[in-house]
Amino acid sequence: MKKHNFSAGPCILPEEVLQKASEAIINFNDDNLSLIEISHRSKPFVDVIENARSLVLELLGLENKGYKALFLQGGASAQFLMTAYNLLNNKAAYLNTGTWSSKAIKEAKLFGELIEVASSKDKNFNYIPKGYEIPTDVDYFHCTSNNTIYGTQMKSFPKASVPMICDMSSDIFSRQLDFSKFDLIYAGAQKNMGPAGTTLVVVKEDILGKVERTIPSMLNYQVFIDKDSMFNTPPVFAVYTSMLTLKWLKELGGIEFIEKVNEQKSALLYSEIDRNPLFKGIVVNEDRSHMNATFNLTDEKLKEKFDAMWKEADINGLNGHRSVGGYRASMYNALPLYSVQALVNVMQELERKA
Ligand code: PLP
């Protein structure tokens, strides 16, 4: 049996997806050729990428609404600059909720004036700022829906009269949202979708073509749209595996279904964090993430004991990010509820033994 994998990524995938992906490495499509040996322009692979692109729009409820789904490379980090390259003429507004937003801000500053509408840096990013205004004279507003490192998640999104861009790397496909509120969504594949190596971009085509600068082809969304996401050789294994995960999700009942499972998982863990006197949460309650739960021991002297116990229980990846410390339990779509129960059991056992 697989370990209970609470790692923040990369990447947590359903066992059946891992099985099919590994088979395709040896023999794809019963053709006695590997998926990674065949031409990306061959019909079997073109079918894969087209299927993946249409599953994305279907799952997000964005079919026939002017959106295109692209599988790009360079990680979500490349999107920090690509969004600005394609969309920032003069000024843009950013919400700063942590490391990833700060990195996006740093890159975008290369292209124009940046307005930080609000920041939670004053409290080491343990909450989501609220009540800020988005200027009407900016080219777009950018936010990060889920803060993978600190464990905060935006539960609602501001109304903006300008295009909305969102980095959804660590919670895409995990909860129902009105995705049509966003004009551009990007996400590294490696949390809820597939192996590292591809980045999903979902863009409303009519926001493009408005900047004055010349955009190099490899950084130009329109070039990739015009070439059906195959301007250059796509990362075939990452795209294929993402397609399998998207299919798995659709067959389970889509985002509506997985959202309920994700809510059960996070409720189970947070209620134990709140009940058990040996633990305390790091993030303010209303902004707690359903994907990444961060917590500390109330008595650091128990660390050695607790660490040995969860490792003994076949749990993996519970250490917090180095900038936050403590523990982080990442509960992406593919993590089963029984894995969360296994962690809760260890927390309760610690309480009995302490
Ligand atoms: N944005 C968020 C919210 C992330 O969690 C991460 C990585 O964990 C990134 C961006 C950076 O992604 P990448 O490593 O694909 O560049």
Looking at the chain, the number of H-run helices and the number of E-run strands are 9, 14
The answer to whether residues 89 and 212 touch, using CB atoms and an 8 Å cutoff, is yes
State how far the Cα of 205 lies from the Cα of 63, in Å rounded to an integer: 13
How much of the chain is in helix, strand and coil states, percent to nearest 5? 40, 15, 40
Residues 71-100 pLDDT 10s: 999 999 999 999 999 999 999 999 999 999
Residues 146-157 pLDDT 10s: 999 999 999 999
Whether 197 shows a pLDDT value over 80: the answer reads yes
Whether 175 shows a pLDDT value over 80: the answer reads yes
Q: What is the pLDDT of residue 83?
A: 98
Mean pLDDT of the region 167-190: 98
Look at the alpha carbons of 107, 289, 141, 166 in this order and tell me if their dihedral is positive or negative: positive
Mean pLDDT of the region 186-207: 97
Q: What is the pLDDT of residue 336?
A: 96
State how far the Cα of 219 lies from the Cα of 183, in Å rounded to an integer: 18
State what percent of residues in the chain have pLDDT above 90. 96
Residue to mutate (ligand 1; options 81, 100, 292; most atoms within 8 A of CB): 100
Q: How far is the CA of 4 from the centre of ligand 1 (A)?
A: 22
Buried b (16+ CB within 10 A) or exposed e, 183-221: bbbbbbbbbbbbbebbbbbbbbeebbeebeeebeeeebb
State how far the Cα of 318 lies from the Cα of 8, in Å rounded to an integer: 8
Q: What is the pLDDT of residue 179?
A: 98
Mean pLDDT of the region 270-280: 98
pLDDT band at residue 271 under the 50/70/90 scheme? very high
Give the residue among 56, 54, 26, 13 at the shortest CA–CA distance from 195: 13
Q: Whose CA is nearest to atom 12 of ligand 1?
A: 76
Whether 104 shows a pLDDT value over 90: the answer reads yes
Q: What is the pLDDT of residue 146?
A: 98
State how far the Cα of 255 lies from the Cα of 215, in Å rounded to an integer: 35
Specify the domain boundaries for CATH 3.90.1150.10 within the chain. Answer: 254-353
Q: What is the pLDDT of residue 10?
A: 80
State how far the Cα of 161 lies from the Cα of 253, in Å rounded to an integer: 33
Residues 212-233 pLDDT 10s: 999 999 999 999 999 999 999 9
Whether the complex's predicted ipTM is more than 0.90 is answered with: yes
Q: Per the annotation, does 97 bind a ligand?
A: no
Mean pLDDT of the region 256-282: 98
Q: Per the annotation, does 148 bind a ligand?
A: yes
Ligand 1 atom having least distance to the Cα of 189: 15
If one counts every other C-beta atom within 10 angstroms of the C-beta of residue 127, the result is 19
Question: What amino acid is encoded at 324 in this protein?
Answer: V
Does the structural domain 254-353 have CATH classification 3.40.50.720?
no
Whether 340 shows a pLDDT value over 90: the answer reads yes
Mean pLDDT of the region 313-326: 94
Give the residue among 11, 50, 44 at the shortest CA–CA distance from 30: 44
Residues 328-339 pLDDT 10s: 999 999 999 999
Whether 248 shows a pLDDT value over 90: the answer reads yes
pLDDT band at residue 262 under the 50/70/90 scheme? very high
CATH topology of domain 15-252: Aspartate Aminotransferase; domain 2 (3.40.640)
Mean pLDDT of the region 47-58: 98
Mean pLDDT of the region 297-304: 97
State how far the Cα of 70 lies from the Cα of 186, in Å rounded to an integer: 9
Q: Per the annotation, does 198 bind a ligand?
A: no
Whether 11 shows a pLDDT value over 80: the answer reads no
The answer to whether residues 213 and 19 touch, using CB atoms and an 8 Å cutoff, is no
The encoded tokens of residue 166 equal 């969102």
The answer to whether residues 261 and 290 touch, using CB atoms and an 8 Å cutoff, is no
Mean pLDDT of the region 103-112: 98
The answer to whether residues 179 and 185 touch, using CB atoms and an 8 Å cutoff, is yes
Specify the domain boundaries for CATH 3.40.640.10 within the chain. Answer: 15-252
pLDDT band at residue 31 under the 50/70/90 scheme? confident
Q: How far is the CA of 168 from the centre of ligand 1 (A)?
A: 9
